[in-house]
Structure 1
Amino acid sequence: MTIIRQQSLFGIQELYEMEPTQQYQEIMDAIDLDAIFFEVNKKTSVGAPVELNYGAMIVSFFIRYVERIPTIKGLIKRLDHDLTFKLNCGFKVSDSTPSESSYSRLLTKLSESDIVERVQERVIHTAITEGFISDDTVAIDATHFEARDQASPKEKEQKKEPKKRGRKTKEERPKWLEEQAKELASLSLYEKKIEAQLDEPLHNLRTEVPQAPKWGIKKNSEGKNVFWFGYKGHLAVGASSQYILQSLLSSGNLNDGKAAIPLLKGLEQFHLPSIHLHTMDAGYDFEPIYEQIHRMGHQSNIAYNKRNESEMIGYDEHFAPTCFREHSYRYDSYDPKYETLKYTQPLECKECPLANQGQCQKVYKVRITTDLRKYTVPARGSKVWKKVFKRRTAVERVNAYLKEFYQLNNVRYRTGKRAKVHFNMIVLIYNASKLAADRINLSLKVQQAA
């Protein structure tokens, strides 16, 4: 590793500029390949003999993402024509190159198991154990990517009997209430309102998420609507370490906010005492999300999304109290024992005649439980709040990495089940590359100290 001089500048991009043999070894060392091999390998002596080198197949399947090979056909061609690449993937010279059908069967086995997600969790636990993850803030956001196929033409919807509008009569109301209850009970978990997720276990939240490709819509930076047919990848990223701590694949039409609670509940399994802040954009401004963060004993930092709400008299746009002359009180501190925000008198009030007459309150306190959405820690509009909110760019940076270096936009599969494997593999490779880069940085630091 003497070819690398500056430890502080080494990152994923520099890792990808290393010699392939060394690069593959560093990344694969961060992944529990034995667990994946045990999951997909034949476990019985009955049937046709195993002639394929499954271990090398798994490595080559991962290396395809590292080398940005877009298709399995391209991977097979590379294995056939590049002996060094074949050996670096773990194949012997005498091994025959697996066919597309063999790789397809491997993908099927991976899609029928959660092994990739379990190995991904082990990578995160390893990074925590080795001291590379000590974030206090997690940034959550979603990114969209298109499916391989275009949407099929919509079938003509059957004409439904128009619903009768207006207030129900006393005779009609019991029947209408019964119909409403049946309709609500028939909805899936992600069709219901977000508050339905609060008391659901994590397993249900993960298994019931819709994964079929659907039409999605989102406003871009210019305020224009962007349409796509495909999926959304939802990520919870450590703001300083930039590891993907939690991930979720969904249909393109799922509201971003409906993926937040599964990500938050997933974070609890790592028991990271350093994490206490969660920052998100205005697309996640829903009361149940604040409630989930509060239940975890953490603090929310979510942009406020005004919904035709009337202004609060005696408060500014950030819900800080104002004096008689409408100067905003300054956020001072937070008391975790009583869950109380403390505001102090505005600077303008020092020379105000009303202050001398006792008309202006010097200190103002408010419990965050009064309204978790309006009263956050740190307080909205304060310098500390703005500083924390800027950390949200970490997840946007990771989204860009996944699309630029790891082929997130290159979905080659028609079903959501296989697209999920594609997404999980990319997340796993990214975190493994991050862990490899951190390990190299640490070894360089030790060498420099010596």
Structure 2
Amino acid sequence: MPIIRQESLFDLHDLYELEPTHRFDAVFSAIDINPILAVVSKKALYGAPVQLTYSAMIYSLVARILERIPTIKDLIKRLKHDFMFRLDCGFLLSDAIPSEASYSRMLSKIAESPVLEQVQEQLIHQAIAEGFITDDTIAIDATHIEARDQAPAKKEKPRSEPKKRGRKSKEEKEKWLQEQAEQEAVRPIFEKKIEAQLDASLVELRSAVPLDPKWGIKKNSEGKNIFWFGYKGHFAVGAKSQYILQSLFSSGNLNDGKAAIPLLKGLQERLFELKIAFSTLDAGYDAPAIYEQLYRMKTGAVIAYNKRNEPNIEGFDHHFAPTCVREHSYRYDSYDARYETLKYTRPKECKGCPLAQDTLCQKVYKVKITTDLRRYTSPARGSKAWKTLYKQRSSVERVIAYLKEFFQLNNIRYRTGKRAKVQFDLMHLIYNAAKLACDRIAKSLSSKQTSQAA
């Protein structure tokens, strides 16, 4: 699969080649920690004085991820023995190094607040204001995150009574349907069908995301099922800028498609100044509700089609383009946004065909995308424009690879989902801060080169 590379004078690899002091200063300057300080600092004037430097503690958590220090215990050891590292994080030589318990209490306060999401959003708005995010295409994907704790033993399901064979009577069927409807109504929203998310608010969806580690399943490159115990990270990434525009942390058993609508609604409500024209997703997100959400956002859906044993439609090819009498596919011509209509023109193979003058082989074929949002997309499936857009989905895969290589995405060591989400949100924030730092340095280098050339 091709990789979309961003042309830049300075990227993340260059950032890690800087001296630690310069690297920390560049990333720290991109993060406004004041909202976090307001959450973790002592509120009352009464009681014992607090001798902790909270700002330095926050910066040390950022440095821990940048330096790939595996645990808080190792971070404290580094602070005690590396004086330059201690000064880079903002501690004075006279300051006491916080204990593990102090860090734990601070992280617990952060876990009970949405402050990290607010700082993430503030940083993205800053990058937009500085002109570094101008994306009109986003890419969405998910990745598994293994928990470091030992997985619990799988519980054996109790044996149910054997089902009665044969068709249900009318009364039995009505009773069964009523029971199913009642069970569906009381389920949490992420255990319902994806369609239930369409009319739910973003706050409702975000607050209902399951966080505890669970067993997950995925297919590897050989098509075999791989099981893991832990979490999932879901990302919406700018295809050109490669900033993480939205993210979601969930239990490992959450279906990828059920995280798409919260991500899309987050883009629509929190980053409304970005005019997203297209969203690229793989076949795991091929669900009617996701197409409906994108249609409501007036965003083109570039999603790989998952056939699911559906029969072929007579008169159409596998991309749902109409075919002529001799089964040649019509060519996609254009999309009329006013009437939401795809236009196809006669195939090249029909030139000189004796049936071309017949009413059986029409010259132009038009179809509304609202006929079936899943099959008819703008641009049309299989077209050159559609394939070009779909290639941009590789940007989210590249970002996930960066998170695993440089930002410890595979090193979540907390037992509870809330604490694990804090580290996940920190990684999201630090990655975007590093991207903003790189873009600022690249802009500065570019302006210097321009002035020298002049």
TM-score (norm 1): 0.96
- Residue number in structure 1 paired with 2:380: 379
SS in 2 for 1:8: coil
1:37-48 pair list within 5 angstroms: 37-48=37-48
Relative to 1, partners in 2 of residues 1:170 and 1:365: Cα closer, same or farther, differing over 3 Å? closer
1:70-81 pair list within 5 angstroms: 70-81=70-81
- Residue number in structure 1 paired with 2:351: 350
Q: Which 4+ residue blocks in structure 1 deviate beyond 4 angstroms?
A: 156-166
The separation in 2 between residues aligned to 1:407 and 1:318, in whole angstroms, is: 40
The separation in 1 between residues aligned to 2:408 and 2:278, in whole angstroms, is: 30
- Residue number in structure 2 paired with 1:226: 226
The separation in 2 between residues aligned to 1:358 and 1:219, in whole angstroms, is: 48
SS in 1 for 2:317: coil
- Residue number in structure 1 paired with 2:84: 84
1:389-404 pair list within 5 angstroms: 389-404=390-405
The separation in 1 between residues aligned to 2:181 and 2:445, in whole angstroms, is: 63
Contact persistence 2:9–2:446 (CA under 8 A): no
The separation in 1 between residues aligned to 2:306 and 2:158, in whole angstroms, is: 37
The separation in 1 between residues aligned to 2:211 and 2:37, in whole angstroms, is: 26
- Residue number in structure 2 paired with 1:194: 194
Q: Deviations over 1:35-79 (max 9, x none)?
A: 111111011122221011111001001110000000111101100
1:226-375 pair list within 5 angstroms: 226-269=226-269, 270-375=271-376
The separation in 2 between residues aligned to 1:69 and 1:298, in whole angstroms, is: 41
- Residue number in structure 2 paired with 1:442: 443
- Residue number in structure 2 paired with 1:3: none
Deviation for aligned residue 1:224: 2.1
Deviation for aligned residue 1:357: 3.7
Deviation for aligned residue 1:145: 1.0
Structure 1, unmatched stretches of 5+, are 1-6
The separation in 1 between residues aligned to 2:176 and 2:349, in whole angstroms, is: 58
Deviation for aligned residue 1:198: 0.2
**Structure 1 counterpart of 2:323, which letter?**
T
The separation in 1 between residues aligned to 2:117 and 2:360, in whole angstroms, is: 60
The separation in 2 between residues aligned to 1:239 and 1:30, in whole angstroms, is: 21
Deviation for aligned residue 1:149: 1.0
The separation in 2 between residues aligned to 1:217 and 1:154, in whole angstroms, is: 14
- Residue number in structure 2 paired with 1:410: 411
Does 134-143 or 354-363 show the bigger shift? 354-363
Contact persistence 2:135–2:274 (CA under 8 A): no
- Residue number in structure 2 paired with 1:56: 56
**Structure 1 counterpart of 2:113, which letter?**
S
- Residue number in structure 2 paired with 1:184: 184
Deviation for aligned residue 1:20: 1.3
SS in 1 for 2:191: coil
Contact persistence 2:79–2:85 (CA under 8 A): yes
Does 267-276 or 139-148 show the bigger shift? 267-276
Relative to 1, partners in 2 of residues 1:71 and 1:167: Cα closer, same or farther, differing over 3 Å? same
Q: Deviations over 1:326-352 (max 9, x none)?
A: 110000100000000000111111121
Structure 2, unmatched stretches of 5+, are 1-6
The separation in 2 between residues aligned to 1:114 and 1:167, in whole angstroms, is: 52
Indicate the percent of aligned positions where both proteins have the same amino acid: 65
1:433 aligns with 2:441: no
Contact persistence 2:260–2:285 (CA under 8 A): yes
- Residue number in structure 1 paired with 2:4: none
The separation in 2 between residues aligned to 1:174 and 1:325, in whole angstroms, is: 48
The separation in 2 between residues aligned to 1:407 and 1:90, in whole angstroms, is: 22
Deviation for aligned residue 1:148: 1.3
Does 235-244 or 271-280 show the bigger shift? 271-280
Relative to 1, partners in 2 of residues 1:176 and 1:358: Cα closer, same or farther, differing over 3 Å? closer
How many residues get paired? Answer: 444
Contact persistence 2:146–2:230 (CA under 8 A): yes
Q: Deviations over 1:303-347 (max 9, x none)?
A: 000011111111000000011111100001000000000001111
Deviation for aligned residue 1:444: 1.3
- Residue number in structure 1 paired with 2:134: 134
TM-score (norm 2): 0.95
The separation in 2 between residues aligned to 1:133 and 1:222, in whole angstroms, is: 37
SS in 1 for 2:216: strand
